């Protein structure tokens, strides 16, 4: 069964450093997403991406965050200057059609900011 692949599975970074979380969505999917889950809390929407541009973003997704699909297969989330409160599990997801069809999620990247 096709999978969404995320790397790395765990990243530790110092506060203030830039991190890039990487995702390879399912190849025929057109809609891409990032969500995060702070330990023990809700899964929160960050951003959606379609046709090479952001289609929607949450208030969490401020100027410190950016997304890119640099080469037609990877989909990346960059955090420019990490803060302690960015520590969370970050999930990438993709969908063949709009979200009402349901996503396929990756297994996540656990980001720890120290």
Partner 1 sequence: GNSVTQMEGPVTLSEEAFLTINCTYTATGYPSLFWYVQYPGEGLQLLLKATKADDKGSNKGFEATYRKETTSFHLEKGSVQVSDSAVYFCALSEETSYDKVIFGPGTSLSVIP
Pick the closer one to partner 1 by CB: 20 or 43.
Answer: 43
Pick the closer one to partner 1 by CB: 58 or 66.
Answer: 58
DSSP character at residue 37: E
| Residues forming the site for partner 1 (CB under 8 A) | 6, 31, 33, 41-45, 48, 50, 55-56, 58, 91, 93, 98-108
- Tell me how far, at minimum, the Cβ of 104 lies from partner 1, in Å: 7
Cis peptide before 8 (omega within 30 of 0): yes
d(CA 78, CA 62): 11
- Tell me how far, at minimum, the Cβ of 57 lies from partner 1, in Å: 9
Tell me the CA end-to-end span of the chain in Å, nearest whole number: 36
């Amino acid at each position: 069964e096709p999978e969404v692949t995320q790397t790395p599975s765990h990243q530790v970074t110092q506060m203030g450093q830039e991190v890039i979380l990487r995702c390879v969505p399912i190849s025929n999917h057109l809609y891409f997403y990032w969500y995060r889950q702070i330990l023990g809390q809700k899964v929160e929407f960050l951003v959606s991406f379609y046709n090479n541009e952001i289609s929607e973003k949450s208030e969490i997704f401020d100027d410190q965050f950016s997304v890119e699909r640099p080469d037609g297969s990877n989909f990346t989330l960059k955090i420019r200057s990490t803060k302690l409160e960015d520590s969370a599990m970050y999930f990438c997801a993709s969908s063949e059609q709009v979200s009402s069809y349901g996503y396929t999620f990756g297994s996540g990247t656990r980001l720890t900011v120290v």
